[in-house]
Structure 1
Amino acid sequence: MTNNKNNKAIIAYMIKKDIKYCQAVVSSTPILNREYKPKTKIFDFTIEKVTLAPDGFTRQLSTVNGQYPGPTIEANKGDRILLKIHNKLGEPTAMHAHGMLQNGTPWFDGVPWMAQCVIPDNYDFTYDFTVPNEVGTHWYHAHETLQYVDGVFGPTIPTPTVPDNGLINGKNNFDCSKAPSGSKCVDNAGLATFEFVQNKKYRLRIINTSAFSSFFFSIDKHEMEVIEADGTYTKRNKIHRLPINVAQRYSVIVTANQPVDNYIMRAEFQKKCMPDAAASLPTVKATVHYTGASDDPKPEDNPWTDSLSECVDLDPKTLQPLKEEKVPEATKQFEFQISFHENATGVVKAFLNGSSYIPDVNFPTLDRVFKKKLSNDPTANAYIFDKVGEVVDMYFINTDDGEHPFHIHGYQFWVLGTGDGDKVDKNALNTLNPIKRDTATIPGLG
């Protein structure tokens, strides 16, 4: 065993909360006992290398405040975030708040040479943006080289403004004993444990922070109801196994309706998406511990055996938005061919319509836009949409046999359709109630 062992992937930083349901015979518009006023929240993040052993094997990791994963950024809608980055990595860095649309603050999107210059070693930089009118599960991560794979990431949760109480006909009681439950931290090597109380409901926020691996997430003997994908609330959809690709996020509701015992929470590698991977890739596991069960958990192995296609997202027919939204007519259409092959120097690179992006390390793209210094440089791979309200249809043809997660910064997009082959059947596109998200899987040869 060498001392440069890599963790293959990290799946799912999960946060659990009780989900309680109330029913009233007579209802009216709730009256809030106070109006939430947005606040300024400051997060000080020191990015540095620390020696840790997340799976029992000691190695040096890049961390946020010495933690792995990094701390949670949790704020209410409208809050101003001051994210102060202190770079002690020994190399340049930058930080991207994945899922934050940065409307009005694109220069704080954190993409080197596009939105900003890198943060040099031993320098500080403050990202200043407002939490948008969003919900769901998001994450922040380094956007320079492969630093996030090595540990520079953490969850971001925009919390909706929730009333302290509700009133019916002007009256109600408030239970002052209720407060957010604290999370349980396990600081020694071993499986993570999630405490369930029998017959309660839990919302699991699942984030795939891996570099390359897609997974099937599940809990033995427990159904899940998908309620959110990449910040879009969805119609409830019962499933056993959840496919989740790189950078995707889901929320699921799990009911603790099984006998008091310990159960395996698992993330299975989608091995067909990794053609060079050995068949012996392990299943990533954690323990769901029911209150009252044995403290020496040795759960039985009872995985769900549903047959699911690998290397694709959930079936769009079952992943539908809670609020239906008809897609507006497109004003422009573009077709992109994705390919991978060697460039002139023998390095395998990604190509979009035959061109591979080369960043201008002296002038970030956004800076050139503001200074009106855009040129028709083919290495920029630039497509300009500069009309407010413009709707663009983008068709991606993947000529590579590997699937690829696709993400757009600053926007959510409607997923109108997916399939095999190198032709787009525009008549088969769903424009009535497609899911809107920011990260979607483009299948291999599809």
Structure 2
Amino acid sequence: MTFYRIFFFYIIFWTAVVSPTPILNRGYKPKTNVFNFTIEKVTLAPDGFTRQLSTVNGQYPGPAIEVNKGDRIVMNINNKLGEPTAIHAHGMLQRGTPWFDGVPWMAQCVIPDDYEFTYNFSVSDQVGTHWYHAHETMQYVDGVFGPLIIHDPDDPYKSEYDEEIIVMLNDYHHTNAQILLKQFLTPESQGVEPVPDNGLINGKSNFDCSKAPPGSKCVDNAGLAKFEFVKDKKYRLRIINTSAFSAFFFSIDKHEMEVIEADGLYTKRNKIHRLPINVAQRYSVIVTANQPVDNYIMRSEFQKKCMPDAAASLPIMKAIVHYEGAPDDPEPKDNPWSDSLTECVDLDHKTLQPLKEEKIPESTKKLELTIAFHKNTTGVVRAFLNDSSYIPDINFPTLDKIFKKSPFNDTSANAYIFDKPGEVVDIYLINTDDGEHPFHIHGYQFWVLGTGNGDKVDENDLNTLNPIKRDTATIPATGFFEKEEIMTVLLGVQESDKKVNKKNSV
């Protein structure tokens, strides 16, 4: 395993993200939406424990970006952190604008301190629930993140809910993430990840201050997030896991949920009581306020089987669902769902189906990636893909190399080149580690075809008829079966556009 279970396994498929694919809504005139963000450090106490956080406009979480399909997003970043930064819009494919993907030393150089930089891209063919966050070291773990919502005028479920609510879940550390990262990247850590001190829902939670270190500034009962429901109304909850490391089970006591979206793509109705959601994943669920007028607990439970043993004492994250007309109650009765779910795996891909049938093209190439975590030559535990641990070239970003047709001679670049237009790739991911790992490919939504145990996958067991497509999926841990877990994803590579816009390059 690796600290914060990094879900950005860098496989280079840049030819896909360079090609613009404008699809505009009929009758809708796209707008340009400008967001002025100052990235700065402020002192806050989201759960009652006071500490310095890295924030967007002084807010934790950061302000929401909400636009319509077809619009343009302009993010003016004023970096006042005292250190370099970069901002990634998670879930945005960046077709035609890969230089605005926000990954340091991949898509761009970092934004220096006391410097302004503009991200400018359109969302002509995307909808749904996404988020933005800092992508330099562990800055988003200290607070540089916020929701990014693309509303769809043609939403097939639009008539089936009355209001929308954004719900952001995250694990939370009281120690600066840079300090934790420095401690983790030592031989002494033995690759055991730091355990969070708490968890938050929409940036709020309570913390038991008796557990705070001596000399800390801490206040008990800081307050929980509160969500207002009106009897018999229907709500679309847009749920986003912005954690560093933790997967959760999300639920609302006595309220059933219907999943209608996963990672920006519509799904068929899927009734559930408890929703498993891993790092960087997003779901939309419809919840009907059909219970007696009262107060209910919204809960997010750590999936502790895929965390270090020290996580056993972590509390359940709670918020309050308050029905209009009910008296205020800071501690509603516990009525949790009793469903037993397997931890550290995604919502069953066999029941999570796309709204519209997905026809899978025949693959033209197969790629097998073995995931391993072991000590490097300095005794520090690192992540390896096919025996190579990624090292960025801070003097020559990957995208610049591609446009200049420079070779990838260093194996630490972990570069897998697919440059034939229309190529379709089957990716076999073999996890030899005892921890699950979120897997995300920038610039892509991929079909999740299945998981299996053993060194080889039985092709007959793969779901090729109507698989779910998403941009972040969980590779299960080896501990669930006797042998390695294998997840297969399928993606296509599109024709590239070699034009480069040098404006705003840092």
With structure 2 as the length reference, what TM-score do the two structures score? 0.76
3-state secondary structure, aligned to 1:112:
coil
What percent of counterpart residues are identical? 79
Q: Cα RMSD (Å) of the superposition?
A: 2.3
- Tell me, in whole angstroms, the C-alpha distance in 2 between the residues paired with 1:306 and 1:162: 34
3-state secondary structure, aligned to 1:148:
helix
Q: 1:355 aligns with which of 382, 388, 398?
A: 388
Q: 1:412 aligns with which of 425, 445, 457?
A: 445
Pair 1:387 & 2:420 matched? yes
Q: Which residue in 2 is equivalent to 1:443?
A: 476
1:376 offset after TM fit, Å?
2.5
- Tell me, in whole angstroms, the C-alpha distance in 2 between the residues paired with 1:400 and 1:89: 35
3-state secondary structure, aligned to 2:70:
coil
Whether the 8 Å CA contact 2:38–2:79 is kept in 1: the answer is yes
Pair 1:426 & 2:418 matched? no
Whether the 8 Å CA contact 2:165–2:235 is kept in 1: the answer is no
- Tell me, in whole angstroms, the C-alpha distance in 1 between the residues paired with 2:61 and 2:124: 24
1:147 offset after TM fit, Å?
0.4
Query: Comparing both structures, which one devotes a greater share of its residues to helix?
Result: 2
Q: Considering Cα pairs closer than 8 Å and 6+ residues apart, tell me whether 1 or 2 has the greater RCO.
A: 2
Q: Which residue in 2 is equivalent to 1:300?
A: 333
Whether the 8 Å CA contact 2:73–2:123 is kept in 1: the answer is yes
- Tell me, in whole angstroms, the C-alpha distance in 2 between the residues paired with 1:384 and 1:79: 32
1:162 offset after TM fit, Å?
5.8
- Tell me, in whole angstroms, the C-alpha distance in 2 between the residues paired with 1:232 and 1:137: 9
- Tell me, in whole angstroms, the C-alpha distance in 2 between the residues paired with 1:181 and 1:310: 28
Q: 1:149 aligns with which of 123, 138, 141?
A: 141
3-state secondary structure, aligned to 1:387:
coil
Q: Which residue in 2 is equivalent to 1:86?
A: 78
1:180 offset after TM fit, Å?
7.7
Q: Residues 320, 37 of structure 1: CA spacing in aligned structure 2 closer, same or farther, 3 A cutoff? A: same
- Tell me, in whole angstroms, the C-alpha distance in 2 between the residues paired with 1:125 and 1:375: 28
3-state secondary structure, aligned to 1:149:
helix
Unaligned runs of 5+ in 1: 1-7, 10-31, 167-178
1:78 offset after TM fit, Å?
1.7
1:247 offset after TM fit, Å?
0.2
Q: Which residue in 1 is equivalent to 2:360?
A: 327
- Tell me, in whole angstroms, the C-alpha distance in 1 between the residues paired with 2:427 and 2:266: 23
1:131 offset after TM fit, Å?
1.2
Per-residue deviation, residues 421-442 of structure 1 (Å, max 9, x unmatched)? 4332222111110000000000
- AA aligned opposite 1:127: Y
Per-residue deviation, residues 200-224 of structure 1 (Å, max 9, x unmatched)? 1100000000010000000000100
Q: Residues 202, 56 of structure 1: CA spacing in aligned structure 2 closer, same or farther, 3 A cutoff? A: same
1:186 offset after TM fit, Å?
9.9
3-state secondary structure, aligned to 2:141:
coil
Whether the 8 Å CA contact 1:327–1:432 is kept in 2: the answer is yes
Q: Give 1:149-188 correspondences, 5 Å limit.
A: 149-161=141-153
- AA aligned opposite 1:119: I
3-state secondary structure, aligned to 1:36:
coil
Query: Is the deviation greater in 225-234 or in 76-85?
Result: 76-85
Q: 1:102 aligns with which of 94, 112, 115?
A: 94
Q: Which residue in 1 is equivalent to 2:176?
A: none
Q: Which residue in 2 is equivalent to 1:241?
A: 274
- AA aligned opposite 1:343: N
Q: Which residue in 2 is equivalent to 1:215?
A: 248
Pair 1:64 & 2:97 matched? no
1:182 offset after TM fit, Å?
9.9
Whether the 8 Å CA contact 1:214–1:311 is kept in 2: the answer is yes
- Tell me, in whole angstroms, the C-alpha distance in 1 between the residues paired with 2:419 and 2:47: 48
Q: Which residue in 2 is equivalent to 1:270?
A: 303
Pair 1:55 & 2:47 matched? yes
- AA aligned opposite 2:340: S
Pair 1:256 & 2:256 matched? no
Q: Which residue in 2 is equivalent to 1:29?
A: none
- Tell me, in whole angstroms, the C-alpha distance in 2 between the residues paired with 1:415 and 1:368: 30
Pair 1:127 & 2:160 matched? no
3-state secondary structure, aligned to 2:258:
strand
Q: Give 1:8-47 correspondences, 5 Å limit.
A: 35-47=27-39
- Tell me, in whole angstroms, the C-alpha distance in 1 between the residues paired with 2:453 and 2:140: 31
- Tell me, in whole angstroms, the C-alpha distance in 2 between the residues paired with 1:276 and 1:369: 43
Q: Residues 354, 180 of structure 1: CA spacing in aligned structure 2 closer, same or farther, 3 A cutoff? A: closer
* Matched positions, count: 402
- AA aligned opposite 2:363: A
Q: Residues 117, 196 of structure 1: CA spacing in aligned structure 2 closer, same or farther, 3 A cutoff? A: same
Q: Residues 180, 431 of structure 1: CA spacing in aligned structure 2 closer, same or farther, 3 A cutoff? A: closer
Per-residue deviation, residues 399-429 of structure 1 (Å, max 9, x unmatched)? 0000000001001000000133433222211
With structure 1 as the length reference, what TM-score do the two structures score? 0.86
Q: Which residue in 1 is equivalent to 2:377?
A: 344
1:181 offset after TM fit, Å?
8.6
1:134 offset after TM fit, Å?
1.5
Q: Which residue in 1 is equivalent to 2:189?
A: none
Per-residue deviation, residues 31-62 of structure 1 (Å, max 9, x unmatched)? x9x93211111111000001001001111000
Query: Is the deviation greater in 264-273 or in 417-426?
Result: 417-426
- Tell me, in whole angstroms, the C-alpha distance in 2 between the residues paired with 1:375 and 1:160: 40
